[in-house]
Amino acid sequence: MAKSDSAQDRIRSIDDIQTTVDGDFHITERQEDFIEYIDDPYHSMMFDGRKMSDNLSYLSSFYPSAGLFSTGVVSGKIDNPTVNSKETVEKGMEVLNVDRVHADPTQNLYLGIVHHDDLAAALANAYNSWVIENIYDKDIGIYGPAVVAPQRPDKAAEEIDDRKNEDEIVSVFIPSGGTHPPLGNEKYWPIYEAAENAGLPVVFHNASGTQIGNFPLQFQGTNRYFSNHVPTHAMTHMMHITDMITRGVPVKFNELDFVVQEAGLGWIPYLMQRMDNEYAEKREDVPMLEQPPSEYINDQFYFTSQPIEGAKDPDYLNSIVRLLGPENLMFSSDYPHLDFDHSDELLRGLRSQFTSEEISNIYGGTAIKVFDF
Amino acid sequence: MIDKEEYEYVANVEDFEDDSRVLIDIKGREIGLFQTEDGYFAVGNYCVHQGGPMCEGKVSGAVTAGEDFELKYTKKGEVVSCPWHGWEFDIVTGEHLAHTDHRVPTYDVKVEDEKVYVRA
């Protein structure tokens, strides 16, 4: 815990950081933004004899809903900005005071529960075509993933191969919320293989509403957004990560990095300690592991910071960040979603306990290394 | 010749006819003595986890994984698992199979004239 920075090297604000990266910024695309980019046969199935502007009736959304109106309506107090163009992304970057963003989708967070496997793959392809043509732009720091549909790992691998040479594509995005079976399953390994070959990290991002699709059944018995949103992000990640470790995914794909988004912080050291604890007793269940589970987390998993819990309590925040490992943490905002963190939120807490180098890495250095942009 | 001042006579080879394990006590130190295909080995009977009597647990092999993660059964007769929480220890090295930075003490064993000696 060095505090040896000289006064002039000390980071007081994010202006003191050379390149600030937001590891989870959101485009707020809706199906109508990108659906015209979908390939045949789906394009003809939808638009032969119709125009985009026609009412598509029950085709108006292929993405299942958990009954949310919108985050703005749920809170009743705010309207989320629409982010569906370069200009609106730039506006968000100004609000956050960041230099680069890893721009993730919003409606396609629900892609993993689209009830048509081939269509899901086609939607991923359409979204990628739209976002590459209209939004990603390295000259203004807008980078992002190639989104893939976990329902069709073979198509996902093709998508990765087709997109990997785009300058702004820096990762592979699996919408992990509601994705079933969990992501350690061998059926997904073609995705990991293609990502590893392409040199791209795999990003996991849940949406709490996707719980209507799958794990865990008890959430179908909840009756408010609160009881759904509080536990689901971390729980779903814990399920996926534990399944991946159990099946040896990081052993098999030892050159592959994973980026786990939007579940806050405290659950990460908990999961690491719990897995190591269980590993001591149940090693025979995971005999392919060559080191304790937490070591795979240290070596190959990165976590984005938002939504930071406990920022008002520096003892909590600093302990948790130290326990999960500052080198595995990337700042993220989640802008413009309801619970976004402003860039200063994390920094305020960390300034007193972490070195300038550690803070610079959290705010950009680690993302630049992992996303290689 | 075994130095009898250094090594203590603790068991006879015939004691292992019914069970590959004999529990002994040297100067108040509980030790598990095991007969394997490769000879005799002794480890401390105190689990570094929570102090369980680890040498009283199941003696077995270990499940390991090959290159394609196919399961194998190896180290037959060379693993003892603490009866409290199942922590597995290598009888030969004293190492915990999962967290190899955890280990229990091992003791030198010698056999002469069907008698087993341990240095502890």
ipTM of the complex: 0.83
Residue B2, domain member (yes or no): no
pLDDT over threshold 50, residue B87? yes
B71 in A contact zone (CB under 8 Å): yes
Average of per-residue pLDDT across A241-259? 98
Average pLDDT over residues B102-109: 97
For residues A55 and A32, give the distance between their C-alpha atoms in angstroms, rounded to a whole number.
11
Say if residue A59's pLDDT is above 80. Answer: no
Tell me whether residue B1 is in a domain.
no
Residue B10 host element (H or E): strand B8-12
Q: Which residue has the higher pLDDT, A220 or A206?
A: A206
Beta carbons of A212 and A220 less than 8 angstroms apart: yes
A155-193 pLDDT per residue, tens: 999 999 999 999 999 999 999 998 999 999 999 999 999
**Chain A CB within 8 Å of residue B65 CB:** yes
Q: Which helix (H) or strand (E) holds A368?
A: helix A366-371
- Give the mean model confidence (pLDDT) for residues A76-102: 91
In-domain check, residue B3: no
Q: How many CB pairs under 8 A join A and B?
A: 32
Residue of A nearest to B100 (CA): A291
Residue A37 φ/ψ, nearest 5 degrees: -85, 0
Domain count, chain B: 1
Considering the domain boundaries, does residue B61 fall inside one? yes
Token pair for A235? 């729980």
B63 domain residue, yes or no: yes
User: Hey, how many other C-beta atoms are within 10 angstroms of the C-beta on A45?
Assistant: 11
Average pLDDT over residues B55-84: 95
Residue range A135-142: mean pLDDT, rounded: 98
> Would the CB atoms of B64 and A287 count as touching at under 8 Å?
yes
Q: Does A287 touch chain B (CB under 8 A)?
A: yes
Instruction: Classify A223 as helix, strand or coil.
Output: coil
Residue B91 lies in a domain: yes
Interval A249-264 mean pLDDT: 98
A296-346 pLDDT tens trace: 999 999 999 999 999 889 999 999 999 999 999 999 999 998 889 999 888
Residue A251 CB neighbours (<10 A): 18
Q: Check residue A234 and give its pLDDT.
A: 95
Chain B contacts of A282, Cβ < 8 Å? 86
Q: Does B70 touch chain A (CB under 8 A)?
A: no
Share in percent of chain A as helix, strand, coil (round to 5): 50, 10, 40
pLDDT of B52 over the 50 cut: yes
User: Which chain A residues touch B88 with a CB distance below 8 Å?
Assistant: 283-284
Q: Please state the separation of Cα A283 from the chain's center in Å.
A: 30
pLDDT score, position A221: 78
User: Which pLDDT score, from 0 to 100, does residue A75 have?
Assistant: 61
Domain with B62, as residue range(s), is 8-119
| Angle at alpha carbon of residue B55, lines to B54 and B59, rounded to 5° | 105
Question: Cβ A283–B97 below 8 Å, yes or no?
Answer: yes
Tell me what the mean pLDDT of segment A128-151 comes to: 98
Cis bond leading into A293, ω under 30°? no
Nearest to A110 by CA among A144, A153, A61, A76: A61
Q: Is A129 helix (H, G, I), strand (E, B) or coil?
A: helix
Beta bridge partners of A26: A104
Q: What is the pLDDT confidence band of residue A76, given thresholds at 50, 70 and 90?
A: low
Q: Give the 3-state secondary structure of residue A17.
A: coil
- A279 contacts in B (CB within 8 Å)? 98-99
> In a 3-state reduction of DSSP, which class is residue A233?
helix
Set of chain B residues whose Cβ sits within 8 Å of the Cβ of A287? 62-65, 71
Mean pLDDT of B21-34: 96
What is the pLDDT, as a whole number, of residue A56?
A: 65
At A214 the pLDDT is: 76
Mean pLDDT of A111-127: 96
Q: Do residues A30 and A60 lie in contact, with contact meaning Cβ atoms separated by under 8 Å?
A: no
Which two tokens mark A296?
A: 């795979």
Q: Max alpha carbon distance in chain B (Å)? A: 51
Q: To the nearest whole number, what is the mean pLDDT of chain A? A: 91
**How much is the average pLDDT of A218-236?**
84
CATH of the domain at B67: 2.102.10.10
